[in-house]
Amino acid sequence: MERFPAEEYRLPFFKESGYVRKLCPKCKKYYWTQNPKQETCGEATSEGCASYTFIGDPPTKRSFSLPEMREAFLSFFEKHGHARIKPYPVVARWRADIYLTHASIIDFQPYVTEGIAPPPANPLVISQPCIRMVDIANTGPTFGRHMTIFEMGGAHAFNYPDKEVYWKDQTVRYHHDWVTKDLGVKFEEIVYKEEVWSGGGNAGPCVESIVRGLEVATLVFMQYKVVNDKFIKLPIRTVDTGYGIDRYAWLSQGAPSGFHAIYGSLLGKIFKMAGLTRSDSELLNKIAKVSGLVNLDKTASRLKTRKKEAELVGMRVDELDKFLVPIENAFAVADHTKSLSFILSEGVVPSNIQEGYLARLLFRRIYRLLRMLQISDKLYDIVDMQVDLWSKDFPQLRETRNEIMEMLKSEEVKFEETIVRGEGMVKRISNELKAGKKKAIPIETLIQLYDSHGLPPEIVKQTAEKEKLEVEIPDNFYALIAQRHMQVSKPVEEEEVKHEEWLENTVENVPATQQLYYEDQYMRKFDARVLKVVDNEYVVLDRTCFYPEGGGQPADGGYLRFDSRKAEVVDVQKAGKVIVHKVKDSAPKVGTVVKGEIDWDRRYSLMKNHTATHVVGGAARRVLGQHVWQYGTQKGTESSRLDISHFRRLTL
């Protein structure tokens, strides 16, 4: 769906406030403004709709640091009936489909948004640290519009069929009141731009808030589930607002970049280390105002964008590059070292899989940037400053400082070994390509060398060019790599998926099963009534103490006894809130009262092995460090297996 109907956006607030709906001739998006003569949407975009006009001229009544802006946001919504909740981790271990928390709504998908579990409060407000690796190529060149780590202010309301909290109109009113009354932005300076939002399997119409060229908030009205590109109405309508806390701080300071606003003196120290003396000049302000043109996801070449920037500020491209590239690299170092510090503080060990892969990608990009700035020996100093800067609000950074440093040192050694091995590998590939009359290393080979061997394209280029081969590195290379590894990829048999979907559909209207195993873990027998039987094989009871398969633990076995007969329970699965028993023999009829009896020897053996895995995991955490996490487990009656994360080989 390209866009929702106009009626989705015609709110009473817009009519009362004198807003008119217009179409931007450049980006082809509709927007709402109080100025009927306004010609474009006013957002600084790669299409050139506008430039930033807040640089050096902030529209707010005072300047806010990031912590001050966070508190201003949270306090406003608290005063308006929202419960403040603590931020979730940046590593999304509660999600089976993604590795990192990249938006505040991630905290509540899919369980709350689909009605599986209640929200922690309703309505609620949170300032959620987010990591968005797909923005890695733009981090630096866009001066702060993109960052890999940022805080998203989320004001969320969950509207049920029998309980309405608030919806579109009130959402926009809350936003407008905070920005105008608390921050002091003039009423008429706020433009609302229509968009379609989709993420995490959900979708809905949204409006983006634009102030002096900068998009500062996205107000999403989530009401659909996306299945095979089709929008299916959800029973729960969710207010999903994303306030850019970092961007609002930048707006309030009118600083040359978002990195100046967020990192302050820390950024200044990085500039000093790298010998960058013109980092706060008028020239930088001039370039910052047109930096909205840059978007390496949308433009085919950085050179094309750089030419446009150079033209607008009256410089040659080579002059602009010489001035700007080191500054952009310093911006990226400030951002990436914060991202990496947060990820490592939550126990992620750099590796070649899962979130560890993303941590390794960040480390190697940081290492390359520091080498380009000729300050590769300053990595630990910069990370140490990041820990000091953010520990007050995120104490886990201080608590894990030593482990963060140990992991960085270990990763540095591994990277240096990779470079040595990689040079020989590139020489072999170069000889093979030259033998085949090829003149360049293809992009697919660059990606394979990075993905399989951890070899950065810059190292490949350096070695290959000595062998007289050309190497062209895409501007968004690291974003492409990150995109390939953002989603969890688990090979699941098609038949297994179909069976799970069939099971869920079959029991869709069956009441939730009372889970007796949580009430009494040592219960062996119970009475229950049969609610549903499918294919004389699958039995749903109103209550059960048969534990379903899950968390690496096999399902219970046992019997259902009824009418002087018994049916052997050979498998137990959970479908939503319903427990389904698979029986080997003839199933009881609906309405029958059965006596359930679990195979206690099997259950007790599984319980002991389950406990043992937790004991071993806890011991590993105490001995090896707080970075140790369980990465996989398989519990059986005879033996169990526990996989843990660690950055060194274990010793006996």
| 334: alpha, beta or left? (left if phi > 0; alpha if psi -120 to 50) | alpha
The whole-angstrom separation of Cα 511 and Cα 528 is 14
Helix 457-466 crosses helix 443-453 at what angle (to 10 degrees)? 120
Q: What is the pLDDT of residues 427-451, one digit of tens each?
A: 888 888 888 888 888 888 888 888 8
CA atoms 395, 399, 405, 410: torsion sign: negative
Is 274's pLDDT higher than 90? yes
**Residue 248 is encoded by which pair of tokens?**
């609002």
Please say whether the beta carbons of 34 and 17 come within 8 A.
Answer: yes
Best mean pLDDT range from 120-129, 415-424, 466-475: 120-129
Residue ranges of domains in the chain: 43-267, 303-486, 494-598, 605-644
Residue that has been written with the tokens 């966070």 in this structure: 70
Q: How confident is the model at residue 284 (pLDDT cuts 50, 70, 90)?
A: very high
- Angle of helix 302-313 relative to helix 317-345, nearest 10 degrees, comes to 120
Q: What is the arithmetic mean of pLDDT over 231-244? A: 93
Q: How confident is the model at residue 299 (pLDDT cuts 50, 70, 90)?
A: very low
Mean pLDDT, all residues of the chain: 89
CA angle 257, 338, 443 (to 5 degrees): 85
493 pLDDT band (50/70/90 cuts)? very low
CATH number of the 43-267 domain: 3.30.930.10
CA distances from 595 to 366, 441, 529, 558 (A): 62, 69, 9, 11
Integer Cα distance of 428 and 556 in angstroms: 55
Q: What is the CA radius of gyration of the chain?
A: 28
Residue among 202, 195, 173 at smallest CA distance from 106: 202
Q: Region 521-549: what's the mean pLDDT?
A: 94
HSE toward the beta carbon, residue 128, CA cutoff 13 A: 30
Give pLDDT, residue 360: 93
Residue 487: closest CA among 228, 220, 199, 221: 199
pLDDT tens track for 542-552: 999 999 988 77
Average pLDDT over residues 483-497: 58
66/72 Cα distance (integer angstroms): 10
In the predicted structure, residue 95 carries a pLDDT above the cut 50: yes
Fold adopted by 494-598? Elongation Factor Tu (Ef-tu); domain 3 (2.40.30)
Choice between 240 and 94, residue whose per-residue pLDDT is larger: 240
Q: For residue 599, which phi and psi values (nearest 5 degrees)?
A: -75, 95
Residue 491 has pLDDT above 60, yes or no: no
- Please name the residue ranges forming H helices in 454-511: 457-466, 477-486, 494-506
| Alpha carbons 305 and 316: distance in angstroms, whole number | 13
Q: Give the H or E element holding residue 417.
A: helix 401-435
Going by C-alpha positions, the residue among 153, 165, 105 that lies closest to residue 126 is 153
CA distances from 521 to 59, 515, 516, 598, 636 (A): 61, 10, 8, 12, 18
Rounded CA separation 446/313 (Å): 35
Query: Which of 38-47, 73-82, 201-210, 485-494: highest mean pLDDT?
Result: 73-82
pLDDT at residue number 636 = 66
Chain segment 96-106, per-residue pLDDT in tens: 788 999 999 99
Instruction: Determine if residue 594 is left, alpha or beta; phi over 0 gives left, psi from -120 to 50 gives alpha, anything else beta.
Output: beta
Residues 404-428 have pLDDT tens digits of 999 999 999 988 888 888 888 888 8
DSSP β-bridge partners for residue 100:
91
* Number of neighbouring beta carbons within 10 Å of residue 292: 23
pLDDT value for 300: 47
192: which strand partners? 32, 209
**Is residue 10 scored above 60 in pLDDT?**
yes
Nearest C-alpha neighbor of 506 from the set 575, 582, 584, 590? 575
SS (H, E, C) 49-84: CCCCCCCCCCCCCCCCCHHHHHHHHHHHHHHCCCEE
- Which tens digit of pLDDT belongs to each residue from 594-640? 999 999 999 888 888 888 888 887 887 788 877 776 766 666 666 77
Q: Write down the pTM of the prediction.
A: 0.82
Judged against a pLDDT cut of 90, whether residue 331 lies above it is answered with yes
Q: Mean pLDDT, to the nearest integer, of 261-266?
A: 97
Would you say residue 497 has pLDDT above 70?
no
Average pLDDT of 13-31? 96
Find the length of the chain. 652
pLDDT 10s digits, 501-511: 777 778 888 99
CA distances to 51, 139, 256, 296, 645 from 46, in Å: 10, 15, 19, 9, 42
CA torsion angle 188 190 196 200 (round to 10): -150
pLDDT at 486 over 60: yes
494-598 matches 43-267 in CATH topology: no
413/408 Cα distance (integer angstroms): 9
363-390 pLDDT, tens per residue?
Answer: 999 999 999 999 999 999 999 999 999 9
- Burial zone of 514 (CB within 10 Å; 0-12 exposed, 13-18 middle, 19+ buried): middle
| pLDDT number for residue 498 | 65
pLDDT: is 257 or 617 the higher one? 257
- Strand 543-544 versus strand 514-515 pairing type: parallel
Confidence of residue 14 (pLDDT cuts 50, 70, 90): very high
Q: Give the tokens for residue 244.
A: 């850019």
Res 137 pLDDT > 50: yes
Higher per-residue pLDDT: 160 or 231: 160
* 149 phi-psi bin (left φ>0, alpha ψ -120 to 50, beta other): beta
| Contact call for residues 540 and 513 (beta carbons, < 8 A) | yes
CB 567 within 8 A of CB 560: yes
* Between 233 and 33, residue with greater pLDDT: 33
Report which residue type is found at 335.
D
Query: How many helices (H) and strands (E) would you count in the chain?
Result: 19, 19
Residue 475, pLDDT above cutoff 80: no
Query: Which pLDDT does position 397 carry in this prediction?
Result: 97
Q: 562 pLDDT band (50/70/90 cuts)? A: very high
